Amino acid sequence: MITKLLIANRGEIACRIIKTAKAMGVRTIALYSDADKDALHVAMADESYHLGGSAPADSYLKADLIIDIAKRSGAEAIHPGYGFLSENAEFARKCEQNGIAFVGPGSDAIDAMGSKSAAKQIMGKANVPLVPGYHGDDQSDENLVFQATQVGFPLLIKAAYGGGGKGMRIVENDGETLEAIRSARREATSSFGNDKLLMERYLRQPRHVEVQVFADSKGNAIYLSDRDCSIQRRHQKVVEEAPAPGLSDELRVQMGEAAVAAAKAIDYVGAGTVEFLLDTDNSFYFMEMNTRLQVEHPVTEMVTGQDLVKWQLLVASGGELPLKQDEVRIHGHSFEVRIYAEDPQNEFLPASGKLNFLREPEQNRHVRIDSGIRENDVISNFYDPMIAKLIVWDETRPRALHRLVNALESYQISGLKHNIEFLANIAEHPAFAKADFCTDFIERYGNTLIGDASSESDTAIALAGLYQVLLRQQQAKVNAVNSNDPYSPWGQVSGFRLNSASIHHVALLDEKHELQNLLMTDLGSALHLGLNGQALKLAGQIKGDVLFAEINGHKSKVPVSCDGDDFTLFLPSGSYHFTAVLAQVADETINSADKLKAPMNGTVVTHLVEVGATVKAGQGLLVMEAMKMEYTIEAPFDGVVTEFYFQSGELVSDGVQLLHVEESVKQATTETEKEAKT
């Protein structure tokens, strides 16, 4: 049995592995970059080693250094988690050559599945159904454009050596093909170091159903339930559940046996996932095989009652699978959602910064949270911005879904934009409740799912005003007690006016940077506020981090996170962030030129036009990359590009001006003025 394990990863998966290893009596070794020196996984491990800089290339991708640390530390095995080196055949091979157990399949199996095109050829020989497409070696632009016309549209272009939606593009017609190929190739190179692409027919309404397989070195291979991962955004999974709803027992067996056949075709050992596209007629097609533990493995654990990381360590130690196929039991239903630092209101741009407030749902046998993040930790722009995975379980799908909704309602985060309300909207959508979905679910119901940030904004604004007045009153009492004259009228904040009702003026900036000017009349027992045609009577008190509020007779408890002048209210519909400002602050509007600023920390990839080019509103000007995703900066108006402030490969900070475009109208006016002077 392995007694000392090095974990070549970070974040929640590193923490997840450490928990099981400790329960098995296995000592753990963590690795960390500059950005992760104070991370949770480092604190949890028995010992840890520094790798280098914050960027993955300078730390978690340094295979030779990781092997060297494993040898120096006496680690008998390396668990790669997922991402980074988890599906790197050369890294697995180096482990083998150095007598270190790689907790995963052999390097040959990773090689076989590492190329999606080669994998499809192997699966075809194993009689696993395939979607029509091109998986060849001729990667010239001319050939790929030609092959695209042969496969037909709509077409899906994918990175041959990738996953997670990186390097993936949907092409609707031949006019889009060449640019999609080039864009996918750039992203594939950036994310995986290999620009090879494959193409296949894009199915309009498929479901994404995958099967968890496990094999040992004794020739045993089984499948443990299936999972539905159809709820995706940009080809990245958002919600996963097990078992996949609506499948007949016969279909489950067919997919499970096909998945086991795929594993046996490459002499697979360890945990793996075979992913299928399930069409509306119940025909299914092999998509890819992930030769590692999946992000969504907890839902399989919840319905099988098995610890898959424990299975991995047992198999890596040379042991047999704990169960045979006929001993696998599926009980109940489980969901997993990924809590991300991202802004659904702004095209899901990743967020980075300090997580200054975190309250998680209570964990029990129904609710599980896998996370590597604590309150006051920093979400770095160097890595995937996932905060946590929320997993729920119950006896039936409806009951498990109810658990999910309740857990999301009690999840509280501030300091960063997040997707909790977006996830709750998915969970509460009637179509999702009926399991009526396919992979375009988010695109189909996007507006409903993203929601209106102002759906409960009036209530939030009123509560924010009440909170600020109560804070002032609290502070006034403290000041009075600490002053030489605690009864001085100058120490009061009652809004006192001679022969007139007391008035409180509260000025707040909301999340859209719009100024909310509130005039609240203080009648002693309550505050009165007129807001958008409503007459509101407000009262309450602050106890700790909870606002006990009453609006027009309705009482509620509102959790509040406060950090200086910034504060967040957590309402049932979601969180609302405000900044208290001086009452005389003027309303600030966002100029359209702000669209030429970096929407986040990242790297400039390429310029799409030259300096001096005349451009139209909406035309792409510059491509930047952040969190391994590409974003195109578009012209906000017609004009002429006069200067780029950053070149390809340069790092840029959130909010920095990337380029300058002279607006056509302004240019014309200038020319007219010159002529007039002449």
- Annotated active-site positions, please? 292
3-state secondary structure of 583: coil
- Alpha carbon distances (Å) from 440 to 83, 404, 425: 25, 22, 16
- Alpha carbon distances (Å) from 616 to 79, 118, 175, 599, 657: 51, 43, 19, 20, 19
- DSSP E strand stretches across 234-309: 236-242, 270-278, 284-290
Whole-angstrom distance, CA of residue 71 vs CA of residue 53: 21
The contacts of residue 526 (CB under 8 Å, 6+ apart) are 537, 538, 539
Whole-angstrom distance, CA of residue 373 vs CA of residue 381: 14
HSE, CB side, 13 Å, CA atoms: give it for residue 601: 12
Helices marked H in 410-456 — which ranges?
420-427, 430-433, 441-444, 446-450
Strand partners, 20: none
Q: Using H for helix, E for strand and C for coil, what is the string for 292-347?
A: CCCCCHHHHHHHHCCCHHHHHHHHHCCCCCCCCHHHCCCCCEEEEEEEECEEHHHC
Amino acid making up residue 446: G
| The two structure tokens encoding residue 135 | 């998986």
Whole-angstrom distance, CA of residue 422 vs CA of residue 429: 11
| Residue 449 CB coordination number (10 Å) | 23
Backbone angles phi, psi at 300, to 5 degrees: -70, -40
Backbone angles phi, psi at 265, to 5 degrees: -65, -20
Whole-angstrom distance, CA of residue 235 vs CA of residue 237: 7
- Alpha carbon distances (Å) from 328 to 78, 225, 300, 306, 647: 28, 8, 11, 10, 56
Residue 348: which region, alpha, beta or left (left: phi > 0; alpha: psi -120 to 50)?
A: left
HSE, CB side, 13 Å, CA atoms: give it for residue 269: 21
